[in-house]
Structure 1
Amino acid sequence: MNKNNQSKSVFDFYGRPPVLKALPLSLQHILAMIMGTVTVPIIVVGAVDATLDEKMALIQVALIASALSTLLQLYAIGRMGAKLPTIFGVGFAYVPTLTAVGAQFGIAGILGAQVIGGIAMIVVGLFIKRIRHLFPPVVAGTVVLVIGLSLYDIAINYMAGGVGSPDHGSVENWTVAIVTLTVVLLVSQFARGFLQLASIICGIGVGYLLAMFYGMVDFGAVSDAHWLTVPKPLEFGMEFHGAAIISMVIICVINSVQTIGDLSATTVGGMNRELSDRELFGGLLGNGFCTTVGSIFGALPTASFSQNVGIVAMTRVISRFVLALAAVFLLVAGFIPKFGALMTTIPYPVLGGATIIVFGMITMTGIKLITKDEMSSRNVTIVSLSLALSMGIYAVPDSIEKFPEMFQLVVGGSPIVIAAFVSFTLNLLLPQKTLADEERERRQIELKMSN
């Protein structure tokens, strides 16, 4: 639909549905990503041994940065922003690098390196039109596929109660998770109309009530949270160290490949079309800008949120108004911590049960992207070797423990890095052959053998 038609459809990017209809759909996106957003600064705080006040400040500025980066991607400013139904925020992919840099150089070292890393993202965005042919569907699809596969352990750990939880793997945790998942499945497959689109929030609601019955919900964080907080520029300082900068630039460039995959998955899975050059350029440029500017206020680097891509692909709800409501809530939560604290009361088993199907949708979107290219022997080799190496090393991190620490930082923490590097390199090195070319070669071999 044309944006001038004042559409109210949730299936139209420019559609503006009634608030009461949009709010539950928006809440699904909030619940899918808010725990990940607040978990990243919590992990980093543990690595740098920061104070409680610094911990709360990092969490709040992470929410604000996630909100503003999402709004930029939805509405765009000039050439910055993809204008796609996508959620951006402080990303998990950076965690291994952030913790390693933080342990050595502190928060100031992270933020200084992040400035340069964000600039590297912008550079990638500026040249993406010239190099986009280097990222065909077989490469972008492989990255999306590995993103989905690498999220499964997070979902399972959530369903079991969260890593480090004293009751990890308990029957109660799994009961809550399975009930939540069952409700999501039943509503998504058997309900009709608006209720079907809100299947995730229905599952979370039922799971939350069951978790309260089991005594899993703790409102202590809400009562302890402040009513108002405002981020201050350079509150954590900023330092520039060569080793930290190199690590951050590498992971930021790799994250740009993940962003390409997520944006492609959004248009393919949610909008049934390919990603345009303008959308890709704007998405990368906007993400680099937010990462660079956010470092001034203590916001950790931003990335596209794959779980929200999965929700878009699952529901086909692409109204930017729906996603903008989620961003506005995060913005309010960033300035009024009690709102954000309320969202963090949702137990991990509820989140795991609601999101595991979303992660599966990401995997299927990757497969859908890959099959847009011919499944020639060449392309099958690219995908299979990328999967084997990335997921294999991810499953056995000790296999590279003798490598330099820098290599372990960049490669060991994320299979996405390995998948992106291997698929990209093989796509450059292996000769281009279509199915017709391979069939012709086989016939020639048969002819030679028969003679």
Structure 2
Amino acid sequence: MCGAWLVCFLLTIFEALPSQPDQYGYTARTDVNLDAVTSAPWFHVPYPGQWGMPTVSVSSVLGMIAGVLASTMESIGDYYACARLSGAPPPPTHAINRGIAVEGIGCILAALWGSGNGTTSYSQNIAALGITKVGSRLVLQTAGLLMIILGLFGKFGAVFITIPDPVIGGMFLVMFGMIAAVGISNLQYVDLNSSRNLLILGFSTFSGLVLPTWFHSNPGIIDTGVKELDQVIVVLFTTHMFIGGFFGFVLDNTIPGTEKERGIKSWRKKVTEDGSTMMTDRSCYDIPFCTNCLQRFKFFQYLPFLPSYKAPELRT
């Protein structure tokens, strides 16, 4: 990405790219958003409520609930993809619950700071694990700390706005291609010679691609008379992953099929093989410095986001 960015910068300096917005190749210039760099302050400390007090309405809450539901489904898939790319065992229940909870806390903080977007897992970042082969939590924690520090310098953040759209597009081709391939690789446990599975796979995939596009092409097509309900339906049905996952879930659980045919048997075998090692490896999902302390108190086994959590059927 940096190499392509540099090439675009040099082409812009030597006026090799068109200077008119309506000409092909103009978006590859690095000075398209240069005003954002010049107008950005050198140093700025963001604080809660800097854009005014947050407002709450029924329609916005219902719309966000629909968005959070779709985002949660995407995040769960991202967690499994992240574990697969980093060589970790499948995430246990408490790790998934904790991840969703932290995303919720991040959304609350984002709303207070007025960042204009929620906090969730990003598939392209997970794809970066497969490209860079770096899955260390220490590396990611250090990167997060650097982002917080550099976020105080307005000029630094504004520089990234100058990255041309073609460079971003090329980066997305690699990253989204990687995450799509990881998702498809999970089908190795499923019998793809089964017409049942091919029907479910084809229908859910095609629906996830077509329906959101149709809704985007026909704005206002949903009119139930209740504005809040319209927003919920539109948010859900314009989310590709929600549509594909919803139809796949419904069809897989309604169309008869054996456990071997559905891939459940192979998945269980993969998860439970070498059980003692697998349980040891699951320590990567523990909370640093706290797990031993949490296990001393029986109360914590009832909290579903802690490593000491036990399912009701496993409690004694």
Class of the TM-score when normalised by the shorter of the 2 chains: 0.5 to 0.7
Question: Cα deviations across residues 379-400 of structure 1 (Å, max 9, x unaligned)?
Answer: 3333221111110123333367
Matches within 5 A, 1:192-341: 200-213=1-14, 214=16, 216-218=29-31, 219-235=34-50, 236-271=52-87, 273-299=89-115, 300-341=117-158
Aligned equivalents of 1:279, 1:242: Cα separation in 2: 31
Residues 234/244 of structure 1: CA separation in 2 closer, same or farther (3 Å cut): same
Contact 2:79 2:96 in 1 (8 A): yes
Q: 1:401 to 1:222 in 2, by over 3 A?
A: closer
Gapped regions of structure 1 (runs ≥ 5): 1-199, 438-451
Distance 1:326 1:426 in 2: 41
How far did residue 401 of structure 1 move? 4.6
Identity %: 26
Normalised to the residue count of structure 2, the TM-score between the two structures is 0.66
Name the CA distance, whole Å, in 1 between partners of 2:130 and 2:89: 12
Q: Judging changes above 3 Å, is the alpha-carbon distance between structure 1 residues 201 and 312 closer, same or farther for their aligned structure 2 residues? A: farther
Q: Is the CA contact (8 Å cut-off) linking 2:37 and 2:159 kept in structure 1? A: yes
Structure-2 separation of matches of 1:436 and 1:363:
23
Residue in 2 aligned with 1:424? 249
Q: What is the TM-score of this pair, normalised by structure 1?
A: 0.48
Q: What is the deviation of 1:402?
A: 2.6
Residues 12-63 of structure 1 show CA distances to partners (whole Å, capped at 9, x for unaligned) of xxxxxxxxxxxxxxxxxxxxxxxxxxxxxxxxxxxxxxxxxxxxxxxxxxxx
Closer/same/farther in 2, CA of residues 407 and 279 from structure 1, 3 Å limit: closer
1:244 to partner: Cα distance: 1.6
Task: Name the structure, 1 or 2, with higher relative contact order (CA <8 Å, separation 6+).
Answer: 1
The higher radius of gyration belongs to 2
Give CA-to-partner distance per residue, 1:181-239, whole Å, 9 cap, x none: xxxxxxxxxxxxxxxxxxx5445444554454446122432222102222232333122
Question: Compared with structure 1, are the counterparts of its residues 288 and 343 closer, same or farther at alpha carbon in structure 2 (3 Å cutoff)?
Answer: same
Unaligned regions of 5+ residues in structure 2, if any? 18-28, 224-229, 263-316
Counterparts of 1:399 and 1:419, CA distance in 2:
20
Counterpart Cα distance in 1 of 2:120 and 2:101: 12
Matches within 5 A, 1:372-411: 372-375=189-192, 376-397=194-215, 398=217, 401-404=220-223, 405-406=230-231, 409-411=234-236
Measured after TM superposition, the shift of residue 408 of structure 1 is: 5.1
Give the 3 Å change call, closer, same or farther, for CA 367–336 of structure 1 in structure 2: same
Which structure: greater helix fraction?
Answer: 1
The correspondence of residues 112-151 of structure 1 with structure 2, limited to 5 A, is none
- Equivalences for residues 174-185 of structure 1 within 5 A: none
Letter in 1 for 2:184: I
Paired residues, number: 238
Whichever residue aligns with residue 230 of structure 1, its letter is: V
Contact in 2 for aligned 1:386/1:418 (Cα 8 Å): yes
